Amino acid sequence: MFDAITEGIRKWLVGRFASAIKHTTRAEDRVLAVQWLSESRAIVASDLRPVEKFKELNTLISSRTAIVAIAKSVSEAVSNYRKSDLPLSMKIALPATLAAIPLVGGHAAGIAAFGGALGVPVLLLIFLGTAGITSIIEAVITNPEVRPHVAEIIEVIIQDERLRRTSARMRAAMKEQPMDPTRFAVPVEELALRKHLLGMDPFQFERHTMSFFEAAGLEAWATRKSNDFGADGFAVHPDGLMVIQCKRHSADNKVGRPTVQQFKGVIEEQGAFRGYIVTTAAFTEEATESARLSDRIELVDMDALVRWHTEAPTF
């Protein structure tokens, strides 16, 4: 029961941070906030003593006006927790839970220990840990209002520990001419939908495809520039990197085994969690057999893609 309450408090605090960032006026400040969280996550994950972590985190906040404003907003929300929508059991447990955050010399300090508005968010970040801070980042960057600065956001994403096995060349490809996922308007009727997908501009098709990954709650984007990896889009799953290749082929132009084999090599070499090949055509029997030999490759043909439009896929 105690673990469930603590986890509920963590999720509520993640929401308070995400809300404060999303409600900042300027998109540039939201990008800055994501960078701040990324740097804070590295400090929390470090081997520094608790008091040193506190000092480093406090310095990160106080050196930037936009972050100070976000920190104060979080402090205000937490101080008014009694008026929040938290369940009663969590409201009762919140002060004691935060008071147990270890800081100096094994002693405990609660949210009032440092008095100032900036001390509270620092304590909360320590309490949330790296996983909690990652959850804040994910909650913010899936917000469409932040996406105009997708390039800057991706700069932060690729530093995520889940992507540490990717090569420098792959990370460069991930940043090259990124495009927002966009769900374009399409016909509802199946035959008309198939015809529309076949006639889509290739770049629109890539963005349209990546919109399904974003809709599933993943950090996702397309890339306009061709690269050596045959990657047209990327998504970050809790278990690692997902690489997506889009083939807007005519119905009679099936994707063959060489394409699948080459893509399998990329996924294996980059330590990616999973690779998707999405096409408006179909796959040859040899291509399908090759994909079956790996548990990291998913093939999405026209029939499956049509189903994505009526039955939201899970990844």
CB 68 within 8 A of CB 118: yes
Mean pLDDT within 281-302: 96
- Within-domain flag for 314: no
- Bridge partners (DSSP) of residue 244 are 233, 276
pLDDT tens digit sequence for 135-160: 888 788 766 555 555 666 677 677 77
Range 22-29 average pLDDT: 78
Check whether residue 198 and residue 125 sit in a common domain.
no
pLDDT over threshold 50, residue 57: yes
Residues 98 and 145 placed together within one structural domain of the fold: yes
Instruction: Tell me how many helices (H) and strands (E) the chain has.
Output: 13, 6
Alpha-carbon span 173 to 228, nearest angstrom: 8
Residue 173 DSSP one-character state: H
What is the extent of the structural domain holding 234?
A: 164-308
pLDDT, residue 121, reads: 83
Query: DSSP class of residue 255?
Result: B
Q: pLDDT value at position 225?
A: 78
Q: Kindly write down the DSSP assignment for every residue of 91-141, as one continuous string.
A: HHHHHHHHHT-B-STT-B--TTSS-STTHHHHHHHHHHHHHHHHHHHHHHH
Same domain, 169 and 39: no
- Which pLDDT score is estimated for 231? 93
184 in the same domain as 138: no
* H/E element, 279: strand 274-279
Mean pLDDT within 59-73: 86
How much of the chain, in percent, has pLDDT values that exceed 70?
87
Q: What is the mean pLDDT of residues 101-105?
A: 49
How many structural domains comprise the chain? Answer: 2
Average pLDDT over residues 283-311: 96
Q: So what's the pLDDT on residue 145? A: 55
Chain segment 111-124, per-residue pLDDT in tens: 444 445 556 788 88
End position of a domain, from candidates 157, 184, 219? 157
- Residue 194: which CATH number? 3.40.1350.10
Q: Is the pLDDT of residue 201 over 70?
A: yes
* Predicted local distance difference test score (pLDDT) of residue 34: 82
Q: For residue 180, is it within any domain?
A: yes
Kindly state whether residue 315 falls inside one of the protein's structural domains: no
Q: Same domain for 131 and 194? A: no
What pLDDT band is residue 100 in, cutting at 50, 70 and 90?
low
Each residue of 34-56: pLDDT tens digit? 878 888 888 888 888 877 888 88
b/e map 75-101, b = 16+ CB within 10 Å? bebbeebeeeebeeebbebbeebbeeb
**174 and 65 fall within a common domain:** no
Which of the residue ranges 3-17, 70-84, 157-171, 232-246 has the most confident prediction, judged by mean pLDDT?
232-246
Residues 245 and 139 in one domain: no
**Same-domain pairing of 14 and 137:** yes
- Letter for the amino acid at 253? N
pLDDT of 118: 56
Residue 144: the pLDDT is 57
Q: What angle do the packed helices 27-45 and 65-79 form, to 10 degrees?
A: 80
Within a domain: residue 313?
A: no
Are residues 198 and 81 located together in one domain of the fold?
no
The predicted pLDDT at position 52 comes to 83
User: Residue 140 and residue 129: Cα distance in Å, rounded?
Assistant: 17
Do the Cβ atoms of 139 and 14 come closer than 8 Å? yes
Tell me, what's the pLDDT at 105? 39
What pLDDT score does 178 carry? 83
Instruction: Please give the pLDDT value at position 108.
Output: 41
The residue among 123, 157, 191 that closes a domain is 157
268, part of any domain: yes
Q: What is the pTM of this model?
A: 0.59
84 & 179 share domain: no
Q: What's the CA gap between 234 and 148, in Å, rounded? A: 17
Question: What is the reported pLDDT for 8?
Answer: 86
Residues 6+ apart with CB under 8 A from 81: 91, 94
**Same domain, yes or no, for 119 and 170?**
no
Same domain for 135 and 30, yes or no, is yes
pLDDT tier at 296, thresholds 50, 70, 90: very high
Q: At which of 98, 130, 157 does a domain end? A: 157
